[in-house]
Chains A and B, each alone.
Chain A
Amino acid sequence: MTSPAGSTKSSELARIAAEAAGTHFSSVQFTLTHGSSLPVSIVDPDKEDPNGWPTDFCHFSAAGLSVSVSTWPSAVSAFSGRVQLGPAEDLGQRETYTYFGHAVPNPGFLNQSTRKFEVLVTLGNTHWSPTYREALMQALVIEKVTGLAAERDAPVLHLHSPVAPVPQTNKNERGDGSNERLRDAIGPCLRFSIGMDPKMAEARLDLETELAALAEEYGFGLKLSDQRLNRVRGEWFTIRGFDRERYRSARGRLFPDAPVLTPRRAVIASVVGPSRPGTTAAAVAALRARGIGVLAASISSMRKTTFINLLLPVAAGVPGTLPQWTGGWVEALPRLTACTGPPFEGGDSSDESLIADWKVAVSPSMRCTYPPSSQQTGATITGRVPYPIWLWWQLPHRSVDTPALLAEVQAALQPHTRRCEIAYAQSRLCRGDVVRGRAKLIVMLSQEHRDHAHVQRLLTDATEQAQLRIRERLPALGRVDPSKVRLRLSPRERWLTYAGISA
């Protein structure tokens, strides 16, 4: 029998190498921004240099803090170690800290042939307002679930927390989801995807079984992406519902002394290095061993370089005077302990050799803000509820930069909303010289309504009109052929898929 994945891997290696070696480039250059503002475009539209356009972009925001990463190929190839990271020039924006670095991509990290396997973990059924204890519990869950993947040499392709929870569907609801309850914009949920080799079905089954066992042990809810054919992203299959009592008792048993307060300040730590399986588990385990929880997380791999962005809660009594800092992972641990403040005694117990050569950028401690309570459904008394809107796009490369596009989307939604934030956005350069991306926006409608059906109609109208406006504006913005623009905005994640995008 043939060995499909292996053969596919050969051509993937050729592709990576060809891209990495293109003309003079052999490394990846990146900028990393920690701050509380929206992503800013770092590309000058008049710039003629075709290599000045980033190939990959990632933005994540939670608790009022955000992280943006842009990568593009670089000519610099001679530097010591695998990653180089340092603070960049101050752009003059308040509470924005930018870092600049280079990384050597890891051509041995081949994951194109893998089967993506997505998991949604529910850590609560109320609104998102994490406490120190919750943060520790979340760190534990991240460590455990990514550890399971690492045991099987499966890479974590992305991980996000908090994300939009998925309401339980009833059997009598319509299959297309048009009548399903509106989703919360964010909730105490964790979403991650793992790349499994399709040939390793047994490893995948073992991983699923152990995840289910873990969910049973800690009481968290577990949903897996629906693996049926023709099911798209955003369709889930519930394996276990959230068990509130069991989760509470596990949390109380494991972290009896952790304060039950919502952190007022947090630091952003970005751990950067060449992609390898098992790195997330190693990083989070080391932090948890020092009593540091994880408030929010965004992990993604771009150009074979992994960016682990973590929001770490700062203990109440710690003075927030330490400035931004960059350095190696080993030196970063005492620094992070000093920043976040939980008492730590004892030596290094966890195995950190896996990411010992990685670099870390730590922001100063910054103030957190939490979204207003949403109580699961749209039907609150005031009607002031943040709703999620999903965005999918495909544009020719070097036409419109992702931050510019996101700003355009926000502007287009402006007439319908009183607030519009970008919870996450990710774009990457794909085959055929096109940039594909996905984003989730959190909006608060300018009209307040308690009626579910009415709000639903408002959201649909808002997205349809915004979509039209963006499509009209984009050709002028990026001098791009309108026939090459594909963009879809929808209040339902699973309605984003374009026919034939798998081709």
Chain B
Amino acid sequence: MTVHLRGPSAVADRRGDGPLDQLRTMIRALPVPTSPLTFPSREAALGLALMDLSFRLDHLPRLSEHLTLMDRGHMSRTISVDVDLDLISGRLRDTLTVPGDSALWVPVSRYSRRDLAPVVIKDSNGEVVPRLSHRDANRVTAAAFVKLLFMLINAHDDVSAPASPIHQLRHTHQRSRWLVEAAITELIMVGSPAGQRLRTPLDHAAPPNTTSSVRDLALAGVEALFATDDVPYARLLQLAVRQYILVAQLGPERPRRFLTWEAPLLPAQHRPAPLQSLAKNVLPVNREFVVEYETEIPRSVKAYHLTLDVRQEISVRRFLMSSDVDEEFVEVLAQDLESVARRAERLGPHHKLFELEMQGIASRLAELGRRRLVDLAGYEAYLARLPIPVRPDATPPLRLTAEQVLRKLSDGDCSLDVLAAFCAHYATDGLQHLARTGLAGPALLNIAAGLRAAQVGRDVTTDNDPREHGAHAHWRRPSVELSPQSTEPVRVFAFMALADEAPALIESITRMVAGLALVVLGIGTLLSGGVDWLYSSRVSDHFAPDQADAVVAVLLLVPGLLLARLDLPSTKSVLGQLHKFQRTLAAASVVVTTALAIVVGTVHSDREMTRWFQLALAVLIVILICCLCEFSARRRHRSSSVPRSTRVPRWLRDARRATGRTVVPDDFFDARGEV
């Protein structure tokens, strides 16, 4: 799902690349129109209604995403939504009605303009639902922006001041306004996906010496209307030029519908550094394949399901989802904390006011503590129901007193223990008269920093799929929305650790290597007539066989047969990545026996033959030790309580005392449609 209304960093990625910069560039590049661009008012209304609904998507009560890892580097997604047409207000429905029909145009998603794969929407009967073409969607969007511009000009304070550019644009110098409108239309029709620079013919020509008053007035008008790149209009424009709206035609006779479609294939965003990959592939660390996924869902969605399917041979060792649903709340709280800390002296004389602020802060801190504690309990239950359960944290809770809690908070300790104890004391009215405690003042700055560092605005949802080769997480919107007015989409992060669990390849390979070692040991023992050759420097006189062919045949055939039974996967698949090192071990053991066979066929000296057998056995034992290391690494991975990922909230890692540094995932998929 790709709804995106992010902040300034996304608006003006680079200097000169903001939406208004692009508009200015377009104004400079386009010829001045001699007649107005007219859009039917119905189209403008439709465009505005589509824009409004597509940002909020509050007519989608449920959203499901089904992810399938195709191979290393590609993920396919099937998106299903429940649409409730009754949630669209009557006036918007009138606007959305398809002319000459009772059906409605309903936006169901937005996605990046770079995703060019065709999208086919089907309903629950499997019938294809008609879609609004991109061209038409762009046209009504352009009409909407032209209309919105006109409305903003009409409502501007300067519209009645005759000398102002706004008044001129509205009443006297229409051509300048037409130029702005033409520039907006061109920008939306052509589009400019994120990361691509807007190219115009001006890039190829020397800057013109003459200036045009029409163009200058258009630029001055844009300047007067939109002081900064941060105005809402600029954000809407940016989204319109970067994303498409997916609009389906739905009949009103069945207001509740289920729609599903295949989203464009998602390529992995980046790979870990080559050195890191090399280390994972040549060391016996029993590597996991870590995939991280990020998307955005509308805040109004009540339930969100994320499911993952992988090949049956692969196990999903960990699956964890985290969303930033309370992040905005925490940020506002942190800003409040900082402001109160800075204003503590001014608030001092107004004691009751100070107390009100402190109590407001305390109530919000307590609520955060309560919510995260519920999340932690869910996570602990998840660890306990894993196929190989992870032991619960043995350390007992600290059981802090109110004074201890306040002291710890003052030091900036916003760990879950402290927040939960704070919540308990607040609920039992143990934290009255906070303005008189040591908390009121500069200590609040520490709390703000602690809250941000602990990422307490992120929740955690765990896997509840009993299958080993699949995963499912069900996120529900909290019953009480802490930022009720916000329409900011919720960012969702998913962490998946894929592994080769029992019966695993490494087990077969260990058996094979052990078998080969035994074969070498057996042949050596038979040839020397005892086991002395293993440890003694004395060489048996008849070590070199008279009929070498039989030994060579055994040394070549046995490993070949064993190797053939291993069923090694292709190197491009995820399983291939997981087995890379283990495959090397298998190949190395075969190389050893093959080399030994060559030696047996070509060397006739007893002494040399003995040394070669000793060397081959030593190498096979080293390979066997590597196999055992893999087992031990697997055990360590299985007992890991918290994934070492930056996308797992810090408070969870702290609560389970996970101290290791975070690692870069093997694949990262970003479905936000903006990046």
Contact = CB atoms under 8 A, between A and B. Distances in A.
A213 B346 CA distance: 11
Contact of A13 (B157, B230, B233): B233
Nearest to B344: A205
Contacts of A12: 232, 487
A263 to B, nearest CB: 35
Contacts of A274: 155
The 5 closest A-B CB pairs, nearest first, are: A3-B7, A227-B360, A18-B52, A201-B339, A228-B363
Contact of A502 (B56, B156, B160, B480): B480
A442 to B, nearest CB: 30
Interface string B320-338: 0000000110011001101
A205 B347 contact: yes
Interface string B40-59: 01101100110111011010
A229 B8 contact: no
A503 B479 contact: yes
Interface stretch (B246-254, B350-358, B642-650): B350-358
Given A502-B480, A503-B479, A23 B486 contact: no
B483 A4 contact: yes
Given A240-B352, A357-B160, A3 B486 contact: no
Given A229-B364, A229-B367, A6 B152 contact: no
Interface in B563-590: none
B635 interface: no
Given A7-B487, A17-B144, A108 B363 contact: no
Contacts of B51: 14, 17-18
A113 B485 contact: yes
A47 interface: no
B331 A26 contact: no
A108 B364 CA distance: 31
A466 B331 CA distance: 45
Residue from A227, A357, A397 whose CB has the most chain B CB atoms within 10 Å: A227
A102 to B, nearest CB: 13
B536 interface: no
Interface string A152-193: 000000000000000000000000000000000000000000
Contact of A10 (B44, B94, B235): B235
B209 interface: no
A22 B91 contact: yes
Contact of B49 (A2, A22, A237): A22
A221 B614 CA distance: 97
Interface residues of A, number: 71
Interface in B348-390: 350, 352-353, 356-357, 359-360, 362-364, 366-367
Interface of A: 1-4, 6-15, 17-24, 26, 50, 73, 81-82, 104-108, 110, 112-115, 198-199, 201-202, 204-206, 208-209, 212-213, 224, 226-231, 237-240, 274, 276, 357, 397-398, 429, 431-433, 500, 502-503
Nearest to A199: B335
B336 A10 contact: no
29 contacts: A1-B7, A3-B7, A7-B6, A7-B235, A8-B487, A10-B232, A11-B487, A14-B51, A14-B52, A14-B236, A15-B52, A18-B92, A19-B91, A21-B151, A23-B94, A107-B152, A110-B232, A199-B335, A201-B335, A201-B336, A202-B339, A209-B343, A209-B347, A212-B353, A224-B356, A227-B357, A240-B352, A433-B89, A433-B90
Given A2-B7, A14-B52, A108-B155, 9 more contacts: A6-B235, A13-B232, A17-B48, A17-B148, A209-B343, A209-B350, A224-B356, A238-B352, A433-B90
A375 B247 CA distance: 62
B340 A10 contact: no
B488 interface: yes
A131 to B, nearest CB: 30
A209 B481 contact: no
Interface in B472-502: 477, 479-488
B147 interface: yes
Interface in B218-241: 230, 232-233, 235-236, 239
Contacts of B230: 3, 6
A1 B364 contact: no
Residue from B89, B160, B332, B343 whose CB has the most chain A CB atoms within 10 Å: B89
Residue from A14, A73, A113, A224 whose CB has the most chain B CB atoms within 10 Å: A14
Contacts of A433: 88-90
B5 interface: yes
B536 to A, nearest CB: 72
B7 A26 contact: no
Nearest to A241: B352
A347 B343 CA distance: 41
Contacts of A212: 350, 353
Contacts of A276: 157
B5 A22 contact: no
Contacts of B339: 201-202, 204-205
B485 A114 contact: yes
Contacts of A26: 151
B364 A22 contact: no
A416 B420 CA distance: 49
A502 B342 contact: no
Nearest to A50: B90
Contacts of A19: 52, 91-92
B19 to A, nearest CB: 11
Nearest to B90: A433
Contacts of B360: 227-229
Nearest to A304: B155
Residue from A1, A2, A17 whose CB has the most chain B CB atoms within 10 Å: A17
Contacts of A1: 7, 331
B95 interface: yes
B154 interface: yes
Contacts of B88: 433
A234 to B, nearest CB: 16
Contact of A107 (B42, B56, B155, B488): B155
Contacts of A398: 90
A202 B343 contact: yes
Contacts of A231: 363
B156 A108 contact: yes
A24 B53 CA distance: 19
Contacts of A107: 148, 151-152, 155
A450 to B, nearest CB: 34
Contacts of B157: 276
A127 to B, nearest CB: 26
B87 interface: yes
A17 B350 contact: no
Nearest to A225: B356
A19 B49 CA distance: 8
Contacts of B479: 500, 503
Contacts of A106: 155
A277 to B, nearest CB: 12
Contacts of A50: 90, 94
B55 A21 contact: no
Contact of B5 (A10, A357, A431): A10
A178 to B, nearest CB: 19
Contacts of A21: 41, 44-45, 48-49, 95, 144, 147-148, 151
Nearest to A19: B91
Nearest to B97: A23
A11 B48 CA distance: 11
B454 to A, nearest CB: 15
A223 to B, nearest CB: 10
